[in-house]
């Protein structure tokens, strides 16, 4: 089990998956990636986009921060590279907006792909209008302090999932999935195969078949004792 250092600490250099792998994964739905990982990696269902249709895909820059404080998040904006996704654990506290319009503007201007935070954000109208992707546990107008430091780019648990710096974060309307960096490349082909299979199923549905046929469910129903009249 990973233990953070006793003093606040920032790691600036992390390993990221190849850009072509990120681009390939960005095509897929989060649910497909979750299934392709063997139903692993899904963050808690309360982590939602702040606007319908938001998507994000990129390497994680991890942040651990005390609740109701945005100081270390300011450092994360400086550390993150274009295309990165800032992933912040603030203890699940939703009674303070730890991220607001100016932070969104700064991150968006620097080319950061988005934010995932197990906490609340504010100034959501402005953030939506600028097109910066945020996935959060809540929305709260209450402000925060700049009193305490934290950690950047250390492994951590966020919304129920272990996240390492450089893991791929994929989010859409269904939620957020964490793809371990070392599994990212292999997952591309798995997701492609899942998409191909679902297209084949759709063709069968158009031809008049049902899931009872193409998923071979009849023996399963029989084994469970279903009686039809």
**Per-residue confidence of the chain (229 residues) as pLDDT tens digits?**
556 667 899 999 999 999 999 999 999 999 999 999 999 999 999 999 999 999 999 999 999 999 999 999 999 999 999 999 999 999 999 999 999 999 999 999 999 999 999 999 999 999 999 999 999 999 999 999 999 999 999 999 999 999 999 999 999 999 999 999 999 999 999 999 999 999 999 999 999 999 998 988 989 998 999 888 8
Per the domain annotation, does 1 fall within a domain?
A: no
Please answer whether residues 56 and 178 qualify as being in contact, where contact means their C-beta atoms are separated by less than 8 angstroms: no
153 occurs within a structural domain: yes
Domain that holds residue 201: 189-223
In angstroms, rounded to a whole number, what is the distance separating the alpha carbons of residues 86 and 91? 16
Residue 229 belongs to some domain of the structure: no
- If asked whether residues 15 and 37 sit together in one domain, one would say yes
169 located within any domain? yes
CA distance 103 to 143: 13
Angle, helices 71-79 vs 101-109, to 10°: value is: 10
> Domain check: are 89 and 195 in the same one?
no
Give the pLDDT score at 7. Answer: 85
Query: 41 and 21: one domain?
Result: yes
178 shares a domain with 144: yes
Residue 196, phi then psi, degrees to nearest 5: -60, -45
Classify residue 127 as exposed, middle or buried by CB count within 10 Å of its CB (0-12, 13-18, 19+): buried
Please check whether residues 165 and 66 belong to one and the same domain.
yes
Q: Are residues 161 and 202 in the same domain?
A: no
Q: How many domains are contained in the chain?
A: 2
Residue 228 lies in a domain: no
Would you give the distance in Å from CA 35 to the centre of its chain?
14
Looking at the structure, do residues 50 and 85 belong to the same domain, yes or no? yes
Q: Is residue 2 part of a domain?
A: no
Does 4 reside within a domain?
A: no
174 in the same domain as 197: no
Q: Which pTM value belongs to this model?
A: 0.93
Q: Is residue 194 part of a domain?
A: yes
Does 156 lie in the same domain as 198? no
Same-domain check for residues 142 and 119: yes
Q: Clarify whether residues 213 and 144 are in a common domain.
A: no
CATH number reported for the structural domain that contains residue 112 in this entry = 3.50.30.40
Mark whether 197 and 175 lie in a shared domain: no
At 204 the pLDDT is 94
């Amino acid at each position: 089990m990973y233990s953070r250092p006793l003093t606040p600490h920032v790691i600036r250099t992390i390993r990221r998956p190849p850009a072509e792998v990120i681009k390939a994964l960005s095509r897929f739905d989060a649910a497909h990636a979750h299934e392709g990982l063997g139903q692993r990696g899904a963050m808690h269902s309360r982590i939602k986009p702040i606007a319908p249709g938001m998507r994000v895909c990129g390497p994680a820059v991890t942040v651990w921060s005390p609740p109701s404080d945005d100081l270390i998040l300011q450092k994360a904006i400086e550390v993150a590279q274009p295309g990165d996704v800032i992933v912040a654990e603030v203890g699940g506290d939703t009674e303070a907006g730890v991220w607001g319009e100016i932070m969104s503007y700064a991150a968006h201007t620097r080319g950061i792909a988005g934010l995932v935070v197990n906490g609340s954000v504010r100034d959501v109208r402005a953030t939506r209008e600028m097109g910066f992707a945020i996935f959060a546990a809540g929305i709260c107008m209450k402000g925060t302090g700049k009193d305490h430091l934290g950690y950047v780019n250390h492994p951590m648990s966020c919304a129920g999932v272990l996240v390492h710096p450089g893991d791929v974060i994929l989010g859409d309307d269904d939620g957020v999935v964490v793809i371990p960096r070392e599994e990212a490349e292999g997952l591309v082909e798995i997701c492609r195969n899942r998409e191909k299979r679902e297209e084949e199923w759709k063709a069968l549905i158009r031809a008049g078949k049902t899931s009872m046929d193409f998923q071979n469910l009849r023996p399963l129903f029989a084994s469970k004792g279903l009686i039809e009249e």
